[in-house]
Amino acid sequence: MPINIGSLTLKSRVYVPPMAGVTDLVFRSIVRRIDPECMLATEMVSSKALMHRPEKTRIMDLNLNEKPTGIQIFGHEPDVMAYAAKMAEAHGADFVDINMGCPVPKITKGKDGCALMREPDLAREIVETVKASINIPLTVKFRLGWDDDSRNAVEFGQMLEKAGACAVTVHGRTRQQLYSGKADWDFIAQVKKGLSIPVFGNGDVFEPEDAIALLEKAGVDGVAVARGTLGNPWLIPRITKYIETGILDGPPRDIERLISAYLHCVGLIRYKGSKIGTNESRRHLTHYTKGIVGSAPYRARLTQIENAHDAAVILAELAEMVEGTDGKKEFLLAVEQENFENGKDPGKRDSNCEGSIHAPIDFSAVSPFAKP
Ligand SMILES: Cc1cc2nc3c(=O)[nH]c(=O)nc-3n(C[C@H](O)[C@H](O)[C@H](O)COP(=O)(O)O)c2cc1C
């Protein structure tokens, strides 16, 4: 059955929720290529920073074909949050998501992220104010509570629903837990029971079987899968297929992982420029190659790459190690095809220019709002 989030109808029950430093435009385009329907979200962006640092609007760049995608904002000043939400709407977001779950001290030491679970009146005011300022659906992501003595996710969710939230995502841990222990899916079930709006259960889904178990145990409408997708975007279509057909596809071939690792790396360099793109891609390359038998020495070298050319060389050697000359040929063919499509030599003409991944940002579209 389709999930309705306000005016937005979802065909998929699978959601890739925000991950700072991960769910950027490049990552989302990789997921979208292999899973046409899952719901996606940007990295979180500070509502306050959006007012003073124009470069931050880049987090809100959306691909033309990536719908449905939401933009996640964080902050605690209702008017500032409304301003950010309007910008998100103008950038083409299908929904705005408010972060009320981030546990990081840098965020919570104000009243942002999960700190809002200790300030339900303020959280309500934020939701009401943001809701009144946009025409697209509003969703909220939160945890079970601040700590074990204050697990208020059920009442908190009910309050958000009353204030105008169209759906919620619940990570089954408290703020105090950060990522320790196991996500409590039973508690997520209680939140689901207490609410009428769609609930996405979140926490510890690393295999398609986990997704089904979470859906069944918590009775939630959808499942949000974050860390499991790191270097493993195929998890999403595998979950989708398993939910929809009961057919459990195996993981991708190692060569496929290596090709995707390269495309991710080169995409980041094209979109973010040589320095930032190379830096960020080192982490992703590590994720993609984890689990490939014998890959440790190659992985160590991948953490040192200076450009996409270095990555291509090391990944080609790895391709040969896993599948011999044919593996290497298949990998290099994919590299050549990418170069042909985007007209660049990896590592040579990739300095601070943007290439194939086009982000249609119209800054004039976001200027009409008076800053609060
Ligand atoms: C690297 C990283 C960055 C994250 N950034 C965000 C964020 O920007 N906003 C947010 O609401 N949650 C963020 N999260 C939390 C995830 O969305 C998710 O709630 C959490 O990882 C639990 O789900 P999982 O077990 O599927 O990973 C982040 C998690 C990770 C690992």
Cβ pair 88, 100 in contact under 8 A? no
Alpha-carbon gap, residue 20 to 210, rounded angstroms: 23
140: Cβ below 6 Å to ligand 1?
no
Residue of 38, 102, 166, 265 with catalytic role: 102
Q: Three-state SS for 40?
A: strand
- Give me ligand 1 centre to Cα 144, in Å: 14
102 lines ligand 1 (CB under 6 A): yes
More confident position, 353 or 129: 129
98, 145 in Cβ contact below 8 A?
A: no
- Asked whether 170 lines ligand 1 (CB < 6 A), one says no
Q: What is the pLDDT of residues 107-159, one digit of tens each?
A: 999 999 999 999 999 999 999 999 999 999 999 999 999 999 999 999 999 99
Confirm whether 265 is a catalytic residue: no
112 neighbors 77 (Cβ within 8 angstroms) = no
The amino acid at residue 346 is P
By the 10 Å C-beta count (0-12 exposed, 13-18 middle, 19+ buried), 125 is classed as middle
Question: What is the distance in A from the centroid of ligand 1 to the CA of 326?
Answer: 38
| CA-based nearest residue to 302, from 236, 351, 257, 357 | 257
pLDDT digits (tens, 9 = 90+) for 13-71: 999 999 999 999 999 999 999 999 999 999 999 999 999 898 899 999 999 889 999 99
Residue 253 DSSP symbol: P
Q: How far apart are CA 234 and CA 142, in angstroms?
A: 26
Cα 133 to chain centroid, rounded = 24
Q: Give per-residue pLDDT as tens, 272-317.
A: 999 999 999 999 999 999 999 999 999 999 999 999 999 999 999 9
Q: In this model, does residue 162 exceed pLDDT 60?
A: yes
Q: Decide: 229 in ligand 1 pocket, CB within 6 A.
A: no
Report the candidate in 44, 46, 16 with the shortest Cα–Cα distance to residue 31: 16
**Probe ligand 1: pick from 14, 19, 232, max atoms within 8 Å of CB?**
19
| pTM as predicted | 0.93
The domain 3-250 is placed in CATH, from the list 3.20.20.70, 3.30.390.30, 3.40.50.300, 3.40.190.10, at 3.20.20.70
Question: Is the distance from CB of 43 to CB of 72 less than 8 angstroms?
Answer: yes
Is residue 359 very low, low, confident or very high in pLDDT (cuts 50, 70, 90)? very low
Q: Which amino acid is at 14?
A: V
Residue 108 amino acid letter: T
Cα of first residue to Cα of last residue in the chain, in angstroms, is 41
Where does the chain hold its CATH 3.20.20.70 domain(s)? 3-250
Does the Cβ of 203 fall within 6 Å of ligand 1? yes
Residue 318 CA to ligand 1 centre (angstroms):
30
Q: Compute the radius of gyration of the chain from its Cα atoms.
A: 21
pLDDT for the residue numbered 372: 60
If one counts every other C-beta atom within 10 angstroms of the C-beta of residue 372, the result is 13
